[in-house]
Amino acid sequence: KNSHENWMPYSLIMEIALQPNGFISGYMGTTLKYPEKDLFFRNLDGSGTLLKQIDLRGKTIVNKSVLVSTAIAGGAIIQSFTFDMSVDGELFYTGKAVFGYFSGESLTNQLGIDNGKITNAWFVDNNTPTDNIDVFDLTNQSLALYKAPADKPHYKLAGGQMNFIDTVSVVEGGGKAGVAYVYGERTIDADDWFFRYHFHQDPVMPGSLGVEAIIELMQTYALKNDLGAQFSNPRFIAPMTKVDWKYRGQITPLNKKMSLDVHITEIITEAGEIRIVGDANLSKDGLRIYEVKNIVLSIVEA
């Protein structure tokens, strides 16, 4: 459940877009060339563009998914797809995705995006004084960030299953663009709810939930700075923009810590809208495995 009843979580839009790709791949018998192997299906790259804001409650979403290409070489299978999602004949989300099939061994030995390099938070590498870092404990459900004012009921973090982060650290004026740097951590529990909702006998955190965690990080920054102050009843939305993602690994029950960050690159004030723009990363035990470019969060009047 999101902080506004007609804003479907972006992760769900992504899942609705991407899950038919797996069905098509299975229906086509893609892995039958390697009957002796146990192979795992993973999203590698993708992009999605939200074309229109639609209240999806009570609506039927039609997803036209197309398998564009299949490449098989050296035991690796890579497939490309496109997707177009519509409601009542009107297109509202479109994009493309690349998936691959991998052995369990290759997934265990993945090197991430940086060829095995362990990365740190920006403020660690830049020796930022602790006095310049604001820290929020999101495990504290009495935190003001979860409690919207009576006249602004949607101006808060959603909490519950939409809370993917334990602590958030903010450096104003930090990050690669000098606007702000926002960093989050989560201690991984093998019993975390999302593991059992991935593929059968393949417990990993869905990549879309990593993107959702990044959005939560941006919401925390927005609330911390009261960026919706100009609105009488502010709410968050995913704006009509293109988001690009790259995955080179996954969070599993064996991992100890998930960390993620957003380099805020712009805060744009337009008529009736505040846009927070950033480039984001997500890591497992220090190994960077997700990269999300041009992610945008908007605040508008409810």
* Per-residue tokens: 48: 């999605």
Mean pLDDT over 214-235 rounds to: 97
Q: Is residue 50 part of a domain?
A: yes
Catalytically active residues, by annotation: 198
CA 285 to CA 188: how far, in whole Å? Answer: 10
Q: Is residue 165 part of a domain?
A: yes
CA 274 to CA 300: how far, in whole Å? Answer: 7
CA 282 to CA 45: how far, in whole Å? Answer: 14
Q: Indicate whether 3 pLDDT > 80.
A: no
For residue 227, what pLDDT is reported? 98
**Radius of gyration (Cα) for the chain, nearest Å?**
20
| Strands 180-187 vs 167-172: parallel, antiparallel or unpaired | antiparallel
Q: Indicate whether 221 pLDDT > 90.
A: yes
| Strands 134-137 vs 90-103: parallel, antiparallel or unpaired | unpaired
CA 7 to CA 57: how far, in whole Å? Answer: 9
Q: Is residue 3 part of a domain?
A: no
Find where tokens 């564009």 sit: 68
For residue 197, what pLDDT is reported? 84
For residue 226, what pLDDT is reported? 98
**pLDDT tens digits, 152-178:** 999 999 999 999 999 999 999 999 999
Beta bridge partners of 191: none
Contact 228, 234 (CB under 8 A): yes
Query: What is the number of domains present in the chain?
Result: 1
**What pLDDT band is residue 288 in, cutting at 50, 70 and 90?**
very high
Q: Is residue 1 part of a domain?
A: no
Tell me the CATH number at 275: 3.10.129.10
CB atoms within 10 A of CB 247: 23
Beta bridge partners of 283: 259, 288
Q: Is residue 5 part of a domain?
A: no
Query: Domain range for residue 145?
Result: 10-301
For residue 75, what pLDDT is reported? 74
**pLDDT tens digits, 47-81:** 999 999 999 999 999 999 999 999 998 778 999 99
Mean pLDDT over 280-301 rounds to: 97
What single-letter amino acid sits at 281? N
**pLDDT tens digits, 106-158:** 888 889 999 999 999 999 999 999 999 999 999 999 999 999 999 999 999 99
CA 150 to CA 144: how far, in whole Å? Answer: 13
**pLDDT tens digits, 105-117:** 888 888 999 999 9
Handedness of CA 103, 197, 281, 245 (dihedral sign): positive
Residues 6 or more apart whose Cβ sits within 8 Å of residue 264: 175, 177, 179, 180, 181, 182, 218, 221, 276, 277, 278
